[in-house]
Structure 1
Amino acid sequence: SRRTEGAQHVLAISSRPIVLGNMPEEGREHLYERVGFLGQVPVKVAGPVQVGDVVVPSGAQDGLARAWRADEVPGEMLGQVIGVAWENDPDNVVGLVNVAVGMDQRPLAERVVALERDLETLRRDVDQLMGRSTGSRDRAAAGREPFPLASVAGPAIPELPRQELTEAEFEAWLKDAGPVFEAVMGQVRKQFQEWDSDYRRFEDVRLLVDEPVTALRSMHRGEFLPTVWEAMRARAVKDGPAGR
């Protein structure tokens, strides 16, 4: 089948496979195709290709492949990698490209490591946004200093009394505080974009950055990052008059 959507594994049809196995019954050969499991396999690729590109299905369910730089392969395509291109053809429209199948997995491994590094950086960024401390060692590992937030024009955020608020009391506070949070998160969103960090992959982070007012309401109900919210409540009680 040329349909690759939802496939567990994507393979390339070969006219000259190195090894043949699982031979069909005599007279039924026309119902089967030769598959290249290992080695150099000509793959029909649409679009330009460079040596070292990762080759994946085109996504159009047309039996064609597409070449991506290893650091640009969409995350959802990492499980459908056919192989790694072993030749250049920058002017290619649709043609056969020599692809190493089942051999060089380094580009894919490097991409996974890069994704893990991005995730760790994003976790540190969220820690900073939530007020949790991150040591200088973490900042050095990230390769950059935490971004400074510029001053935001607007009303000062009213201090919450150290007690449980009713929905009406919380909404009254949010009416004044919401615009300030939205302005600050606008700066955070811009910084994520400058760092080319896809924060929208994580729903809690996306909600906090893109919809801070909705996130604050979820926090008030204990539905958003509940462990962090509970810790903040516990700290408020500890630092209140009864805890001093």
Structure 2
Amino acid sequence: MHDITVPGRAGIRVRVYVPHGEPPFACLVHFHGGGCVTGGLDTHDRPSRDLAARSGCVVVTVDYRKAPEHPFPAAVDDAWSAVAWVHGQADSFGIAADRIGVSGDSTGANLAAVICLRSRDEQGPPLGFQALLYPLTDARCEAPSYRTYAVGYGIQADDLRRYWGLYLGATSDPDHPYASPLRAADLSGLPPALVVTAEYDPVRNDGERYAARLAAAGVPTTLSRYEGMIHAFYLMGGVLSRTSDLVEEIAQKARIHLAP
């Protein structure tokens, strides 16, 4: 495990987890959740270690800038810079540059989805897989699950709305596809996707709508709803057995889609 500051952009730290085995390795660049307001390398240390061990991939977690001090699109720009850096430095970590994917949980899944869009739009580093764990895909927060699971299930709907407000600030467009990927006009040409949702989660509908739109656009997509789970269960490995199942599912899909 190595902590590194990415050159060229002050404040972006990444943590690199290298699995046992012989290079070249596939790689997952992971963006943490926390509303683009909280969270960091340490909050996601345990699942990142587990994911690297199970998948056989190098896992790189990214400490992007956060709101409200750094509103949209700062986190997107940092995520983009981090992926470009990983691609450019692949040889240094025994990574195969053509076997890189992205993953994220919650708002980190938003960033992962957006980076796939931006890579397609700007002909950026080629990405072979995206794992989106209970993704926030629409800043409007209007889906029925925001009402059904508004309170009493861990994260509350009003908390999510507050995070969106801090992230977008007073001037950003909530319908911009790099903020709300569900509102992108075209989702074709994106890498294969694993979209994970939790049963008792305000953002469940938005994640499942995004998976449906990916599939309709011809993107190979697996939608996996974890019954009985709540938002952020990826971080509950010491408490919930289903967290282990989730990490294994990500690992399996990564091995398939990032195979040599």
Give the structure-1-normalised TM-score.
0.25
Q: Which has a greater percent of helix?
A: 1
Give the structure-2-normalised TM-score.
0.24
Q: Which has a greater percent of strand?
A: 2
Larger Rg: 1
